[in-house]
């Protein structure tokens, strides 16, 4: 499996990262970060709204030396909260994320949502404030405090608003899996040199996840003696889409990065064709 992807500015980002959404509590964070690093993850994804940046920062400070790792070995991503959209607000929020994570720089910083907290979707201030945030990210990027910048949950129209930006997004992180293909968005990102990164690669986060129970996914998992989750992660990475599986189960943490098997073109096509919401 390809292990990393080169962003449009030449920065290399691991293809499989460790997601931390809804993972909280100091003891839990320390446990999963250590397990992830031991399993081989070299990319950690967090966000201000996750409420776990400080614990992740402490966990990395403790675990990296124990495992013989240095800062340059780990790719760290965080995101701007919808509460902090705006030129000065963005700068302050970025500095706070750095402080919470106990870092001198970030590898990737994203605008988490195109909207602004408490504003209605059709409020024109959303566009004005997110564009102000982007201008601040450009400044931060040029200062060297972040190696790459991007967005999350942006549609084609949101990305088109940035066509005349000095720096185009290096990454757009969105929901992507066989039940939600977002073909137009994926193609647009490709045409603009924006790396397409997936969250929720295993489908919906509800308890009865229909994607993990899909007959096509289960058939391929049985065929290749691996888990349904591994099948779905491999399907994405084979397309050059980076993924961010999350888990607090150490066995699953290890499994999700062990994608050392092959799916045929026919297998990959079968997965793409189970989509129910393209």
Q: Note the pLDDT tens digit of each residue in 98-138.
A: 999 999 999 999 999 999 998 898 889 999 999 999 999 99
In whole angstroms, give the CA distance from residue 227 to residue 232.
Answer: 9
What pLDDT score was predicted for residue 278? 37
Q: Which of 50, 141, 154, 234 is catalytic?
A: 50
pLDDT tens per residue across span 220-253:
999 999 999 999 999 999 999 999 999 999 999 9
Q: Which of 136, 4, 7, 109 is nearest to 53 (CA)?
A: 109
pLDDT at site 277 = 40
Cα–Cα dist 15/123, whole Å:
36
What is the fold of 11-272? TIM Barrel (3.20.20)
Nearest to 255 by CA among 75, 41, 12, 64: 41
Q: What is the pLDDT at residue 122?
A: 87
pLDDT tens, position by position, 64-96: 999 999 999 999 999 999 999 999 999 999 999
Does 170 appear as a known binding residue? no
- CA dist., res. 129 & res. 82, Å (int): 10
Residue 276 pLDDT > 60, yes or no? Answer: no
- 264 burial (CB, 10 Å; 0-12 / 13-18 / 19+) is exposed
Active-site residue, 105 included: no
pLDDT at 207: 62
Instruction: List the strands of the sheet with 195-199, edge to edge.
Output: 18-19, 43-45, 75-80, 108-111, 149-152, 171-175, 195-199, 242-243
**What secondary structure letter does DSSP report for 193?**
T
Q: What is the pLDDT of residue 209?
A: 81
pTM of the complete model: 0.95
Query: How much is the pLDDT for 249?
Result: 98
pLDDT digits (tens, 9 = 90+) for 38-73: 999 999 999 999 999 999 999 999 999 999 999 999
Q: In this prediction, what percent of the chain has a pLDDT beyond 90?
A: 91
Let me know: does 253 contact 247? Beta carbons within 8 Å.
Answer: yes
Hey, is 45 helix, strand or coil?
strand
pLDDT-derived band of residue 2, with 50, 70 and 90 as boundaries? confident
Mean of pLDDT values over 260-276: 88
pLDDT at 1: 62
């Amino acid at each position: 499996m390809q292990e990393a992807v080169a962003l449009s500015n030449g920065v290399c980002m691991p293809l499989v990262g460790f997601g931390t959404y809804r993972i909280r509590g100091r003891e839990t964070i320390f446990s999963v970060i250590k397990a992830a690093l031991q399993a081989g993850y070299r990319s950690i994804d967090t966000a201000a709204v996750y409420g776990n940046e400080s614990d992740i920062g402490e966990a990395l400070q403790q675990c990296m030396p124990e495992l013989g790792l240095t800062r340059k070995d780990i790719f760290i991503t965080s995101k701007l909260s919808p509460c902090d959209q705006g030129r000065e607000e963005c700068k302050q929020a970025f500095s706070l994320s750095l402080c919470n994570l106990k870092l001198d720089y970030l590898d990737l910083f994203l605008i988490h949502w195109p909207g602004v907290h408490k504003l209605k979707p059709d409020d024109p201030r959303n566009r004005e404030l997110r564009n102000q945030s982007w201008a601040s990210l450009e400044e931060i990027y040029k200062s060297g405090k972040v190696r790459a910048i991007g967005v999350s949950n942006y549609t084609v129209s949101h990305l088109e608003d940035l066509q005349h930006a000095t720096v185009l997004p290096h990454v757009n992180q969105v929901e992507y899996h066989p039940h939600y293909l977002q073909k137009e968005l994926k193609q647009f990102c490709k045409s603009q040199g924006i790396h397409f990164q997936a969250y929720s690669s295993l489908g919906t986060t509800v308890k009865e996840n229909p994607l993990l129970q899909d007959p096509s996914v289960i058939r391929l998992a049985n065929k290749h003696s691996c888990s349904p989750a591994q099948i779905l992660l491999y399907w994405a990475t084979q397309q050059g889409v980076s993924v961010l599986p999350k888990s607090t189960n150490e066995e699953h943490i290890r499994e999700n990065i062990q994608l050392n098997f092959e799916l045929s073109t026919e297998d990959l096509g079968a997965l793409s064709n189970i989509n129910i919401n393209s």
